[in-house]
Amino acid sequence: MKIPNISCKIEMSCSVNPSEDPSKIMKSISNIFPNSEIKTENFSVSAHSKNLNSLEKIYEAIHSKKSQKTYTRNLEDNLGNDSTWFYLNKQAAYVEEVVICEEAEESPLGPIKVILTSSNIDGIIDWIAFD
């Protein structure tokens, strides 16, 4: 996997339900997005990174599961200006599995929302889905 030299801001966020342990949500995010800065606020957990290395596990899952079309469709459908986003299943992330959700409701306790922002967002989409 060759990571392109593209400037990017990666943000991840998800809600924490009253029945959930915030530390488990933090673990879900760190399992999928290592090396990101994670913080909790009231009923949410968020993380951010400016390093495309943070997307390594997603990249590997997309290419090993041959799910480029699904990710490409999601990334292009949610594209606006210099950013795009997609949802990941929070429970799957806890066990280090990358599972995309087409709709938020596909993750029973709520998804992790991943937002990618870059002046070269098309380059990032091309890299993550087609490289």
CATH topology of domain 9-130: 50s Ribosomal Protein L5; Chain: A, (3.30.1440)
Can you name the residues that pair with 112 across neighbouring β-strands? 88
Residue-wise pLDDT for 56-101, tens only, equals 898 888 888 777 888 888 889 999 999 999 999 999 999 999 998 8
Cβ neighbours of residue 13 closer than 8 Å, sequence gap 6 or more: 44, 45, 46, 47, 112, 113, 115
Question: Could you state, in order of their start, the residue ranges of all structural domains in the chain?
Answer: 9-130
Residue-wise pLDDT for 8-18, tens only, equals 999 999 999 99
Residue-wise pLDDT for 100-109, tens only, equals 888 889 888 8
